[in-house]
């Protein structure tokens, strides 16, 4: 009780020290409420000038305050959010059209951020994207960045006590740590990569381009790294990763219109599906229906997997792990084969590579018991469906088939999708790791 009193009073003093005539009235109301009822620990919900993420904001808005009186809830949101903030790792898409106030809108999940962009490279970047599309090429509008500025308004929408969405107006916004599929760097860096692709297309049309004579295994990829194979590695929880090579033209892949069929850069991929033992080492629980330490973990949603990956990155002290994209997953599953499966089109051979309805016995099996593909990856066909990073409308894609489904569902090109919150005992995943020195 004494400790709680000290925490609350410390927060109160901090807030009191920050308040001024320019502060929103909501902040003073929250200070008064905190001072009047310390048992409710209202002050503990306030973190002025703290770094935020979309996840921390969503947790705050959907947590205990969602059950509070509507006016107190509005004051609390105002008091915590209407201040100088840095919001990290916003994953969104480029906005091509500012509103009448010159603000661009960026939506990540249930949060929308609206602000002006003073950097003149941003509208120039948009123009390069439009030129790319006029050439019948396809550029990715996906972007990740951090933004820092003064939140002048935070409008949260609720249906009863259920949090729905929130919109932030940010003044004097400063954007940093920009990442796209093309590069890590500012809007000017992103723009130059698009300009180079436009020039390459023009040279190709005019017949002035010079073919790249470099051997495929030595061609350069982003960051100046070559595609020479790197050694497999095992991380701290026993996950084994193998090198997946890519022998293709990088820029043509990055701007191809069917992103499901293209991969631009080599990577590491989990040799096996993530096991229950590995899941427990990170998450401390086991949600699987079929129990066994070396069985693939299942009954995990796409959202659960994102939490696992976040904690795995924290545990390893690295930011290299993520789900594979559909393109990366299919490239890995095929392992150089153009057939229905990694070994070709002879369905009679599938029992040597996959646990599916014909041989599974209606259960999952320990990973790595059957034959691997040419990249040394096991169970890319069957056992459990594997979540991918990609979206299909409001759903998330999974690939590979599972113990319950037939041979056709295990094909390298077969696509499936589920609600990102969905869980069942035929759905698991494996993890991709990017090489050292490359953005995730």
DSSP 365-426: --TT-S---TTS---SSBSSEEEEEEEETTEEEEES--TTS-TGGGSTT-EEEE-TT---TT
Is residue 154 classed as helix, strand or coil in its secondary structure?
strand
How many angstroms separate the CA atoms of 95 and 72, rounded?
34
Instruction: Give the mean pLDDT of 98-120.
Output: 95
Which pLDDT does position 168 carry in this prediction?
96
- Could you give all domains of the chain from N- to C-terminal order, each with its CATH number? 1-46 (no CATH), 49-193 (no CATH), 223-433 (3.90.1580.10)
How many angstroms separate the CA atoms of 43 and 7, rounded?
8
203 pLDDT band, cuts 50/70/90, is confident
Paired residues of 159 in beta bridges: 162
Which pLDDT does position 13 carry in this prediction?
40
How many angstroms separate the CA atoms of 280 and 303, rounded?
16
Nearest alpha carbon to residue 115 among 142, 133, 92: 92
Which pLDDT does position 259 carry in this prediction?
53
Nearest alpha carbon to residue 399 among 342, 307, 340, 330: 330
Nearest alpha carbon to residue 60 among 81, 90, 39, 35: 81
How many angstroms separate the CA atoms of 58 and 246, rounded?
38
How many angstroms separate the CA atoms of 180 and 5, rounded?
46
Which pLDDT does position 135 carry in this prediction?
82
User: Would you state the structure tokens that stand for residue 1, as one six-digit string?
Assistant: 């009780």
Q: In whole numbers, what is the pLDDT of the chain averaged over residues?
A: 84
Per-residue pLDDT tens over the stretch 55-104:
899 998 998 888 888 888 888 888 888 888 999 999 999 999 999 999 99
Rounded (10°) angle between helices 187-206 and 121-134: 30
Which pLDDT does position 360 carry in this prediction?
98
338 pLDDT band, cuts 50/70/90, is confident
Is residue 226 classed as helix, strand or coil in its secondary structure?
strand
Q: Taking 90 as the threshold, does the pLDDT of residue 7 lie above it?
A: no
Longest dimension (CA), the chain: 79
Q: Which residue has the higher pLDDT, 229 or 40?
A: 229
Which pLDDT does position 365 carry in this prediction?
98
How many angstroms separate the CA atoms of 230 and 438, rounded?
14
Paired residues of 53 in beta bridges: 88
Is residue 24 classed as helix, strand or coil in its secondary structure?
coil
Per-residue pLDDT tens over the stretch 269-296:
999 999 999 999 999 999 999 999 999 9
Which pLDDT does position 322 carry in this prediction?
96
Number of H helices, E strands in the chain: 10, 15
Nearest alpha carbon to residue 246 among 173, 304, 325: 325
Per-residue pLDDT tens over the stretch 238-266:
999 999 998 644 444 567 666 555 677 89
Per-residue pLDDT tens over the stretch 122-167:
999 999 999 988 887 778 888 999 999 999 999 999 999 999 999 9
């Amino acid at each position: 009780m004494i400790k709680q009193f000290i925490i609350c009073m410390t927060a109160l003093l901090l807030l009191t020290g920050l308040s001024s005539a320019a502060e929103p009235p909501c902040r003073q109301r929250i200070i008064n409420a905190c001072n009047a009822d310390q048992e409710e620990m209202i002050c503990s919900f306030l973190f002025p000038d703290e770094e935020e993420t979309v996840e921390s904001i969503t947790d705050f808005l959907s947590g205990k305050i969602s059950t509070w009186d509507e006016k107190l809830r509005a004051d609390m949101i105002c008091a915590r959010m209407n201040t100088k903030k840095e919001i990290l790792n916003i994953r969104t898409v480029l906005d091509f059209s500012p509103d009448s106030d010159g603000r661009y809108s960026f939506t990540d999940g249930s949060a929308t951020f609206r602000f002006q962009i003073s950097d003149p490279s941003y509208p120039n970047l948009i123009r390069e994207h439009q030129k790319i599309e006029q050439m019948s090429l396809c550029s990715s509008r996906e972007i990740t960045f951090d933004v820092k500025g003064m939140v002048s308004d935070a409008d949260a929408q609720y249906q009863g006590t259920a949090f729905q969405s929130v919109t932030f107006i940010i003044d004097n916004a400063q954007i940093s740590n920009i990442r796209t599929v093309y590069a890590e760097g500012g809007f000017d860096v992103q723009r130059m990569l698009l300009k180079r692709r436009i020039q390459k297309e023009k040279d190709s049309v005019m017949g002035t381009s010079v073919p790249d004579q470099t051997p495929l295994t030595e061609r350069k990829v982003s960051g100046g790294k070559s595609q020479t194979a790197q050694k497999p590695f095992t991380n701290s929880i026993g996950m084994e990763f193998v090198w997946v090579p890519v022998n293709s033209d990088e820029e043509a892949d990055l701007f191809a219109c069917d992103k499901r069929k293209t991969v631009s850069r080599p990577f590491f991929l989990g040799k096996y599906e993530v096991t229950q033992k590995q899941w427990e080492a990170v998450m401390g629980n086991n949600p699987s229906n079929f129990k066994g330490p070396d069985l693939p973990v299942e009954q995990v949603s796409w959202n659960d997997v994102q939490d696992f990956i976040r904690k795995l990155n924290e545990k390893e002290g690295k930011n290299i792990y993520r789900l594979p994209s559909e393109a990366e997953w299919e490239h890995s599953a095929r392992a150089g084969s153009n057939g229905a499966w990694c070994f070709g089109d002879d369905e009679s051979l599938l029992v040597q590579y996959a646990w599916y309805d014909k041989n599974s016995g209606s259960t999952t099996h320990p990973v790595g018991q059957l034959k691997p593909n040419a990249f040394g990856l096991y169970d890319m066909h069957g056992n459990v469906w594997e979540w991918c990073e990609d979206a299909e409308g409001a759903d998330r894609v999974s690939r590979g088939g599972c113990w319950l489904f037939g041979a056709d569902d295990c094909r390298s090109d077969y696509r499936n999708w589920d609600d990102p919150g969905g869980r069942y005992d035929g759905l698991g995943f494996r993890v991709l790791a990017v090489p050292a020195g490359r953005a995730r």
